[in-house]
Every structure is written in C-alpha cells, then in structure tokens.
Structure 1
Amino acid sequence: MNVNGGRPQLSGTFGAVSSTHWLPSAAAMAVLEKGGNAFDAAAAAGFVLQVVEPHFNGLGGEVPIVSYRASTDRVQVVCGQGPTPASATADSIRRLGLNQIPGSGLLPAVVPGAFGAWMRLLAEHGTLPLADVLDHAIGYAENGFPLLTGAADAIEVMAPLFETEWLESGRVYLPDGRPPAAGSRFRNPALAQTYKRLLREATAAGGGHQAQLAAAEDAFYRGFVAEAIDSFVSTTEVLDSTGRRNKGFLTGQDMADWRATVEESAQVRYGNCTVHKPGPWSQSPVFLQQLALLDGFDLRRMGLDSAEYIHTVAECAKLAFADREAWYGDPDHGDVPLGTLLSAAYTEERRRLVEAKAASVLRPGSPDGRAPHIPEQVPDVLPPSRDHWMNQIRNGLPTVVRAAEARTDTCTIVVADRFGNMVAAVPSGGWLKSSPVVPGTGLSLGTRAQTMTLEQGHLNSFGPGRRPRTTLSPSLVLRDGKPVLAFGTPGGDRQDQWTLGFFLAVTEFGLDLQSATETLAFHTDHFAASFTPHEAHPRKLVVERDCDPGVVEELRTRGHEVELVPEQSLGKVCAVGVDRERDLLLAAASPRGRQSYAAAR
C-alpha cells in the first residue's frame, strides 16, 4: 500500500481538473482561464478526449454526466447513453444464428449519445461560445497530438482488418499505409472537418448561445452526420466478430428521434455524505448498494487493506452486482425496483448474507417479494481464426487484450470551479477497435448494445428504443448540501469497485485525495462481464501484488481464488474536491497508466 504517494495532492482557489490524459486536463484548465465555468471546461476536455484517446472513446460514443450547479443548488444527471434502434429486436439477432449480441461491427451500434449530452450540458449550464469549447479538439485533430502507446498498439493489431475490410478505418488510422508509431504526431483530418462543420452550421444559424448549441445538435442528429451514418449503415455489410459480414439497424430517423435527457440522480447517505450517481440504466447504483451494505460494518476497526476489510468489501460487491444482473435496466421500459434495492430493510436482509467464507454462487435479492432472474450467458461457438485481430474483436472491450493485463478502458473527466460548480463525466464508446469509421466523418459508432441480453422479459433485454445498461459510472458527493468530491475511473465492470476503494480510503481512513488514488486496488470478477462474451469467474478476487503476503494467504483461506496482478495496474481514478475548512479546491490523478493528470490553480 502506497499511502505517501509519488505525487502531491494539488490545491488551488481558481479551478481544479483531473482526467485520464494530460491534454484534456490542460484544455479544461485553459477554458477556465478563459472565463468558462466547470461545465464549459468539462465539455472541452470531453471533446479533446475523443481525439487523443480514440481507443477508449470517440464522437460516436456515449457519456453519463453528473453535476452540481451552485446557482441552483442542485445535482442533476445528463444521460448521454443513446438507445437501440427502432428496428432492433432479439429475433433479428437470433435469425443470424447467434446467442449473444456481437461486440463489434454494426449490429450492436446504438444512437451516439456523447455529442447530444455535451450539448445538453452546455445548454443547461455553459457560458462560453461553442467555438471556445471545440477549439482544442479541433486543433489536436487537425494539427496532431502524440499518439499513446495503447492507441498505437490497438492500431497495429487491427491494421490487417483496416487494410482489407474496414477501409475507412485504414484511411484514418494508417497514414502512409502503415500503423503509426507510439509517440508519433498523429492527426485525424476527417474528424477535424466534422467538428469544424458542426461549428460552422452552429455559427451560421445565428442567434444566441442556446440557438447555436441547438443548431450544432441538429447538424449532428438530423443533418450531415446522421445522413452519413444512415447511408453507411443501411448500405454496408461489415465484417464483425461473427466472421461474417452484417448490416446494422441504426438509421438517421433513430438519431433524429433522440435527445439527451436531464434526470434526477440516484443517491444514498453514507456517514455525513450524500453520494449521487446516474440511475439504473447504468451500473452506477451498485456503488450505492455497496455503500449501504458496508455502512453496517466497522471498516475502520478492520483496517485499510486488511484481509477482513478486503473480504468484506468484495462480498458486498458480489451482492450488489448480483442485483445489477437481475434488476438493472432502462427504467423507461420496465419497473426497476431501485427504491427497494437501496432501502434500509432490504439492505439489512442482504447484509446478513456476508459470511466469513467467500460466496461461491451469485445471489440476487427479491425486492418487494419479486423473484430474481439472471439471464443465462451462452457464448456463441464461432469458427476458429488464425488472425490475431479477429480474436481481439471477439472480446467486446475497447482495448487490445493481453494475457495477465488489467483492462482499464474508458475515460474520465472531473472539474471544480471557483463559482462552486462541480462536474464528473465518464465518456466511452465509439472506439477504433470495435466498429469501422463512418466514411467522411472520422468517427466510429458505439457498440454498447452488446451489454444487453437476448432473453426477453428481462429489464436489460435487447429491443427497440432501449438504453443498454452501461458500465459508465461518474460520482459526485455532497456534505451539508454542498459538493465536496467528484471522481471516476476507466475500467468497465470494475469502475464501481475501484472507485469504492478510493472513496473508502478518503471517508473511512482519512487519506488525502492523491494518496487515496494510490492505495491498493482490488476487485471481484464473480459475476458475468458486461461485454461480449460475458465471462464470469466465481470467487475470483484480483489484487495488486504489493498486497501483504499474509493478507493474500488469509484471503485464500477464506475461499477466494486470488489472482495477483502488477502493482499500480488497476484503474485510473481521477478526482477533484473542496476543502471547506481551508477554502481550497483539490485535484488528484492516479499514477496508474502514467497518463492521467490533474491540475489546480
């Protein structure tokens, strides 16, 4: 456990930002310096992330955003998770001889929600012209940026597919016909032109701030971007992880019919804090359920990173994620019993299931007496392939999967400003590995529908107009009604376990934000993964190997199948906060991955 940390906690009075890449962090601070607020800065960073982390997110992806606005004293959530197309049905997938929705290609494509979510956030709370928000993203796409090693690796692995099948991806990601080197200056001119045209159409619309944002949104969802997507998806059969070429379901009408929604947050009280999360169309409430369960244990007595502490946290995670599997989904299309799942009586009943030995089965609860059901995951038997890229796209995660490697996909942005505003966002989707670039746009479509089940009647069933249950999970915390902390991490299903460890290190053990990002990380893979092929590993507990050997041995004695992974390899927690006693803004970024950076002034 590294509680002293190699980096200091940053503090300032003007602004605090943290993200999973240094360039978006710099862009966010530059926007604050220009007079923008936290909402302007977060959006600017979000668009830069789409450019500089194309293996983790993109303009065709999605983002949930949770924020606090000081002038209204309110927390709200912007849902940037686009729904499935109107023609998407389970039968249409089964007719292809499939048991699961593929993790790549066009079949799992949903309405791109990220652009609409950022436009909605800016319309609700932003102050700067759209040109100032998009300026940094346009500059990096047009003039270039240093390519991350992870992005270069993904492009190199996918190059044979880009050269022979996904030809537009080849035009974007194989400049001069070959994979770019890590650290080289990389450009995406097609994406730059898309941003610039969106801005031109917004500016040409005239009017004030709101009118221009509406025009940009219209250009994306009912204009040239939607037209390009409709034309490509409706006329192109794309080679995907099935080993066959398939068309998708997404249409321009699906895009025209959608708009990002503003919603109330899900929340729970923990100690003197109120923790706010997106709703059950995401996995976010598992964080709240874990907190509710853990509130009945004396974690401080156990000690940070003791065997009893790790065991208790992992067992509560198993219970919360079992409920995710049984009860989470789009509440617009089913009765999600979230109130009961977070209630004291239900939580107390579930807490009694935590025993001294590791649970070996998944145990969802019965809220309001309803019988739980977890869909069976039946992997598709696909023809063997000698192509490395084919084996990679059969795993729905965005990153190139290497043996014994932690999978820390997705991005994070958190911002706090001098006005008292705070924003947390976790963008993802539209990554280069899982779907071909749409010609003329520089963007790939998101493949989030792969997280759904073909089993009808479940709350997360694949069907028309439904939001897939996303793994994306930003967090915002209030104390005495005022924001004190915002945080997030990449990591798919593990996000709400890694950020939980960070949060407990701060609230239960008094660590500063930076030290808390550097403490020992661990997670359980006891439940089915959200991404195709939805593998589960009952009793598996993954722990960074700087864990005390005696603790590891005791965990194994308790029945956990402990897998040790390299030190400082799990997650990339980014956080901002407010020290109300000292009247300071705080910022921290995990050193894991060597690319997350915070800034404070």
Structure 2
Amino acid sequence: MFTTRPELTGDFGMVAGTHWLAAATGMSVLERGGNAFDAAVAAGFVLQVAEPHLNGPGGEVPILLWSEAERKVSVVCGQGVAPAAATIDRFTSGLGLDLVPGTGLLAATVPGAFGGWLLLLERWGTWPLADVLEPAISYAERGVPVVTGMAATIGTVERLFAEHWPTSAATWLPGGAVPAPGSRLANPVLAATYRRVVAEARAASPTREGQIAAARAAWYSGFVAESIAKFCAETAWRDTSGEVHGGLLTGDDMAAWRAGVEEPVTFGYHGHTVCKTGPWGQGPVFLQQLALLAGHDLTAMGHLSPDYIHTVTEAAKLAFADREAWYGDSAEVPVSDLLAEAYAGERRALIGATASLLQRPGSPGGRSPRLPAARGVGAGPQAGAGEPTVRADGAVSGDTCHIDVVDRHGNMVSATPSGGWLQSSPTIPDLGFCLGTRAQMFWLEEGLPNSLRPGARPRTTLSPSFALRDGRPWLAFGTPGGDQQDQWSLNFFLSVVHFGLNLQEAIDAPMFHSEHFPSSFYPRESRPGVLAVEDRVPGAVLAELRRRGHIVEPRDPWSLGRLSAVAREDFLKAAANPRGAQGYAVGR
C-alpha cells in the first residue's frame, strides 16, 4: 500500500504529533536524558505557540499515560470546570440565552491545560519546570513560522478582531494585517507570562517539586488568576449570541480547581485492552463502538468495503446516540451497563441493511434515555470536521492538537490539548492568551447528564487513546477532530487490528465519518444520515453506500483524519498524519 512517509522504527524513543516543532522539541528532550513525560510536557507547551489557532494556555488537556515504574495506565484530567456563577438560570432567565455562546467570555471554564501538564511533570517527569518551558518561551519570543491553517484562521476573524476585539487584533494582526503563511509571528507577551511564572517559581523554592507547586500557585491563585478575573469582571465583548457579555470566571473559581488523576475506562477487544477517559469526555464512545462491532466479522468484510463502512457507521450512530443521552459530569453515568455484552447485543441487533436516519439512544440497565431538545439540522458540513468556534459571518473554524511519546524505558503518553484558540475569545492583553470556550458543550436544560452546573466539567470531545496488547503496553494514538475524534481513531485502530496495516498505512488510508448526531459545538446542529468519505474511496463503494440509504458526501482526497501514533513492539514505532502538511513523527 502507498504511504506518504515511512513508519518509523527504532529503540531509543519516538515522538509523533500535529506539528513538527512540537515533535522535534519532544525528541530533543529525550535526547538530553528526559523521559516521555518530560518530552510530552515540553512538546505540549510548544504546541500552544506553534498552533495557537488549535490550542492555547487558556484551554484544556486530557492525558493518558503508561508508567513503566507503576506498570499501569493512568488518566490526567486537565479539564477545567464551570464557574460558580454559571447556572442555567443565569443564562436563560438572566441573559435570555438557550445555548452557551460558542465564543467570548461566557463560555469560559477554568483553564486546565497548565495544571494538567504540571501534574504530569510533577508526578512522572524528571525535569525542572524552567527546562520544559524554555522551548515554548523561546518560540514565543523569537516567533514561529505561520502555518497555512493559522493564517487562514486569522483571516476569517480579521474583521471581528478589528471591529470588536482590539486586544486580539494587537496580538494576531501584526502591522494591522493577517500574517502571511511562512512569515514569522511572535507572542512576546505570552513569553513574558511564562518567564514570570518561572521567576516566581525559582524565587519560591530551590527544589523541582517546590518550583512546580509555586508555578501552579502563580497560575491559579497568583498573577495569572488575578488578570483573568479582572478581565472577566471589567470587560465585555461581542460573542456568537450577537450580544456583548462579560465573563463569569473568578479568582475563587481558579483557586478552587486542581488537575486530577483517574483510572481509565477500559474494554477488551480481540486480545487488546483499549483505555479511554471517563464519560466527562466522549472517550467511552470508542469503547461502545468496539462492543457493538465485536459481534461482526469485520475482517471478512474487507477493508473499506461497503459492508465495512456501513457497519462501522451504523455502530457509530448508536454509540453516539448514547453519548448524547448518558454522558456528562452532572449525573451518574452507567458506564458498566453501557459496555456490558448483553446491552451491546441488544443494540447490535438494531444495525440493519440500510442506513438509519433516527437518533436511537438505548436503555442501559432499564433506564429511560432522554435526549436534549432537538436543535436545527445543518445545511453544510461541520467545517473541517473539527472543533468549531463561530466567526463573525456565522461560519465556523477551529480544531485541536495531539502528541504521542514513547521513550527507551517504555513510558508512553497520549495527549490531546485543545481550547483557548486565538479565535475563541478576546486576548487578555497582559497575559498574551485568551480563555477557552468549552462551556459551549453544556446544555441549558435541567436534568441531563451534561446540564450546565457550577463546578462540573463539560462533556468534551477530547479523546486521547491507549491500548495494551495481550496485557502489555502497545499503542498510544489520537487525533484532532471534535466529534470525529472517536470515529477517525476507531477507523485507524480497526485498520491495524483487523487488516494488518502498519501505523503509517492506517493513518494514510482513506477516512470516513458520520455527521448524523448533534454537534458538540455551537449551534449544536445535526445532519441525519450524512456520511463524509474521502473521495479516494472507489466510486462503486460510494454508490453502494448511497443505495443503502446513506447521504454520502465525498470530501477532498486528503482531508479527513489527523492521526498520530507511537507503539511498543519489537521496536519502538511512530507515524504521523500527512494531511495539512503539519504532522510530524521523529525517533531513533
């Protein structure tokens, strides 16, 4: 099979991700004696500078990791929570809204990325904070090459910045113009923010652990928190509601939050144990799809055959319907029942010969499902099939990053940082970054698992993946892509497990996904029956899928899926996505 680049193999270390500067930074840490956790943290902070249209310091990060010393998989939750003042009544009765806006200050949750990365460094890493932050500080001071996607994103919000968000214009429109692809773009204010964090940490303690604790305090109860609280309380900005709003996030909200460590949710499939976050993210939907597909002979169907694409798509519709009905942080989620074979068997029987156009959540453990009130049906594709925010003209743009690392000791990391996009919220002028908008994923309806509630995590789409093979750590992988993350990642995984593709072949293979279920992003529309397929899939296959009732939308030949992966086998292995000309894998 044709591949755009080789699957990398070696025995020292591997890093793969969505930007070459981050991957190279991670590898440089491994070369200088750092472990996989040090490398992932350094790469994660570089991603904030190199891909500011895809993630930022005001965003969040879920992390899955294998510690060779502990011999287990752990989940780091770097997802911040809703402010204490963020109640449904505040939005509906107080502000007259029926959705949390997709941009602006109202949609901010506590920025969790900094706490998540620091927890990974503190508990499993070995390097001092200053050393892992230095590459990001250097790139922010000296500038990074503007990738095509960044220039295009800034171009879409140029008028919004110029007319309504002047602090963002000052940061992202140097000289009053959209930066050209390939030009150098610096963020000296962000560099100064991180330099001050390092200086305060060094002044507070001589030890690595003490400095990490002091940096956390500077961020969540010191000068960073003070600037965020002041900006939310004293400024107001136009958002996607069409109105001008201030923010709800306070210093107390910042100080009360800490990143945490959790056990993964797991599922066994054909000798593999797949590990995901809990249902505060969409991760278990990957496992539910595996449970449904376990009763089908996918290998016999053939890779990317009509039977295969149809079956995988219909399983996705059922699993994502359960995501809408059951996942969230505001109710007890019946995870065991959702993954039980008896329940999967009942649901599997709903996969018929033709495409379903219905949203069909199930009744795990006999419970009655409840879906959020129906929203509109979208007319066009979910832009980029990514993580959208809404620009001034009502169209959408935005996405996410990913990084995977494995070191010579056997430690592994899969992380999906996102949020705090430069286009999501006005830049805080004395910090050099903006807040995230993850609260747009809450519902403003009482009684749902994902109802807005003070102190709750929004049910996110961020979904890093980890898999063991025969009980041994094997594969760390993931992708940007919003609601599509656990479809593209699943297709990649099935390609490797059932059809023997290597990592690069599975990433390069034509990709597809369903847009049948409600989007997790403002304005929360669904597109029943729509199946997006890269048009490298043969026309005869697309015709047969149409005959079965799918609303097939051919997409450009290299446009869907942005996966990266690292693996531990006889050798260490890595691969990265060619789409968009940014993904990069490096190792030896």
* Same topology, TM > 0.5: yes
Match of 1:508 among 495, 498, 510: 498
Note if 1:261 corresponds to 2:252. no
Question: Tell me, which stretches of 5 or more residues in structure 2 are unaligned?
Answer: 378-382
Residues 93-132 of structure 1: matches in 2 within 5 Å?
93-95=91-93, 96-132=95-131
Residue in 1 aligned with 2:337?
340
SS in 1 for 2:261: strand
Counterpart AA for 1:585: L
Task: For 1:556, give the aligned amino acid.
Answer: R
Secondary structure of the residue that 1:587 maps to in structure 2?
strand
Percent of aligned pairs sharing the same letter: 55
The answer to whether the 8 Å contact 1:413/1:574 transfers is yes
Structure 2 Cα separation of the partners of residues 520 and 485 of structure 1: 21
Shift of 1:441: 0.3
Mapped pair 1:397 → 2:384: no
Q: Distance in 2 between matches of 1:339 and 1:93?
A: 34
Letter in 2 for 1:425: A
Note the 1:54-69 alignment, pairs <5 A.
Answer: 54-69=52-67
Q: Choose from 425, 428, 435 the match for 1:435.
A: 425
Cα drift, residue 368 of structure 1: 1.1
Deviations 1:493-531 (A, max 9, x none): 001000111001101100110001011100001100000
C-alpha separation between the residues in 1 aligned to 2:106 and 2:77?
22
**Does 2:295 correspond to 1:308?**
no
Question: Does residue 508 of structure 2 align to residue 521 of structure 1?
Answer: no
Letter matched to residue 198 of structure 1: V
> Quick one: which amino acid aligns to residue 3 of structure 2?
G
Q: Is the 8 Å Cα contact of residues 201 and 211 (structure 2) preserved in structure 1?
A: yes
Distance in 2, Cα, partners of 1:444 & 1:586: 36
- Conservation of the 8 A alpha-carbon contact between 2:147 and 2:181: yes
1:499 aligns with 2:486: no
Q: Give the Cα–Cα distance (whole angstroms) in 2 for the partners of residues 154 and 408 of structure 1.
A: 8
AA at the equivalent of 1:591: P
The Cα of 1:247 is off from its aligned counterpart by 1.1
Offset from partner CA, 1:31-89 (integer Å, 9 cap, x none): 11111100010011100000011111000000100000001101100001100000101
Whether 1:79 aligns to 2:77 is yes
- 1:207 offset after TM fit, Å? 3.4
Alignment pair present for 1:46 and 2:44: yes
Aligned residue type for 1:190 = V
What letter corresponds to residue 213 of structure 1 in structure 2? I
Read off the aligned partner of 2:124 and give its amino acid letter. Answer: H
Measure the CA separation in 2 of the matches of 1:440 and 1:379: 39
Root-mean-square deviation (CA), in Å? 1.8
What is the DSSP-based 3-state SS (H/G/I as helix, E as strand, rest coil) of the residue aligned with 2:27?
Answer: helix
Cα distance in 1, alignment partners of residues 247 and 375 from structure 2: 22
Q: Take 2:566 and 2:273, find their aligned partners in 1: how far apart are those partners?
A: 16
Q: Is the 8 Å Cα contact of residues 100 and 440 (structure 2) preserved in structure 1?
A: yes
C-alpha distance in 1, partners of 2:494/2:41?
28
Q: Distance in 2 between matches of 1:203 and 1:156?
A: 40
Between 195-204 and 223-232, report the one with greater CA deviation.
195-204
Alignment of 1:321-340 (within 5 A): 321-330=320-329, 333-340=330-337
- Aligned AA for 1:366? S
Aligned partners of 1:72 and 1:242: how far apart in 2? 48
Which of 567, 579, 582 matches 1:592?
Answer: 579
SS of 1:588's partner is: strand
Of 504-513 and 479-488, the range deviating more from structure 2: 479-488
Q: Distance in 1 between matches of 2:246 and 2:537?
A: 48
Q: CA deviation at 1:4?
A: 2.3
Unaligned runs of 5+ in 1: 381-391
Could you tell me which of 468, 471, 476 is aligned with 1:478? 468
Distance of 1:282 and 1:135 partners within structure 2: 31
SS of residue paired to 1:465 = coil
Contact 2:157/2:391 (CA < 8 Å) preserved in 1?
no
Partner of residue 452 from structure 1, selected from 434, 438, 442? 442
Deviations 1:561-588 (A, max 9, x none): 0000000110110000012xx3x11000
* 1:377 Cα deviation after fit: 3.8
Q: CA deviation at 1:378?
A: 4.1
Change in CA separation of 1:509 and 1:401 when aligned onto 2, cut-off 3 Å: farther
Distance 1:160 1:408, change over 3 A: closer
Question: Does 371-380 or 66-75 show the bigger shift?
Answer: 371-380
Aligned residue identity for 2:553: E
- 1:372 partner amino acid: P
1:279 maps to which residue?
278
Amino acid paired to 2:54: F
Q: Deviations over 1:435-482 (max 9, x none)?
A: 001120011101001011011110100121110000000001112332
**Whole-Å separation in 1 of the counterparts to 2:392 and 2:144:** 24
Aligned to 1:25: 23
Residue aligning to 1:293: 292
- Measured in 1, the distance between the counterparts of 2:446 and 2:366 equals 21
Query: C-alpha offsets along residues 324-345 of structure 1, whole Å, 9 cap, x if unaligned?
Result: 0000001xx3210011101111
Aligned CA distance change for structure 1 residues 364 and 88 (closer, same or farther; 3 Å): same
Alignment coverage as a number of residue pairs: 580
Q: Which residue of 1 aligns with 2:380?
A: none
Q: 2:456, 2:19 → 1: CA distance?
A: 32
> Alpha carbons of 1:510 and 1:536: their partners in 2 closer, same or farther (altered >3 Å)?
same
1:221 and 1:308 mapped to 2: Cα distance?
A: 51
The residue that corresponds to 2:35 in the other structure is 37
Contact 2:387–2:482 (8 Å) recurs in 1 = no
Contact conserved, 1:55 with 1:398, CA < 8 A, in 2?
A: no
Q: Which residue pairs with 1:227 in the alignment?
A: 226
Instruction: Give the direction of change, closer, same or farther, for the CA distance of 1:255–1:379 in structure 2 (3 Å limit).
Output: farther
Counterparts of 2:141 and 2:440, CA distance in 1: 32
Shift of 1:379: 6.1
Name which of structure 1's ranges 299-308 and 90-99 shifts more when overlaid on structure 2: 90-99
Aligned with 1:556 (options 541, 546, 555): 546
Rounded to whole Å, the distance in 2 between the matches of 1:135 and 1:186 is 18
Structure 1 stretch 206-215 or stretch 245-254: which is displaced more? 206-215
The DSSP-based 3-state class of the residue aligned with 1:250 is coil
Distance in 1, Cα, partners of 2:389 & 2:86:
22
Deviation, 1:165, is 2.2
2:57 partner SS? coil
Give the Cα–Cα distance (whole angstroms) in 1 for the partners of residues 391 and 311 of structure 2. Answer: 32
CA distance in 1, matches of 2:61, 2:389: 15
CA distance in 1, matches of 2:205, 2:108: 33
Distance 2:374 2:352 in 1: 27
Counterpart position of 1:385: none
* Separation in 1, partners of 2:122, 2:394: 44
Equivalents in 1 of 2:143, 2:236: separation in Å?
31
2:365 to 351, 364, 368: 368
Pick aligned residue for 2:12 from 14, 20, 33: 14
User: Displacement, 1:560?
Assistant: 0.4
Cα separation, 2, equivalents of 1:55 and 1:130? 25
The secondary structure found in structure 2 opposite 1:487 is strand
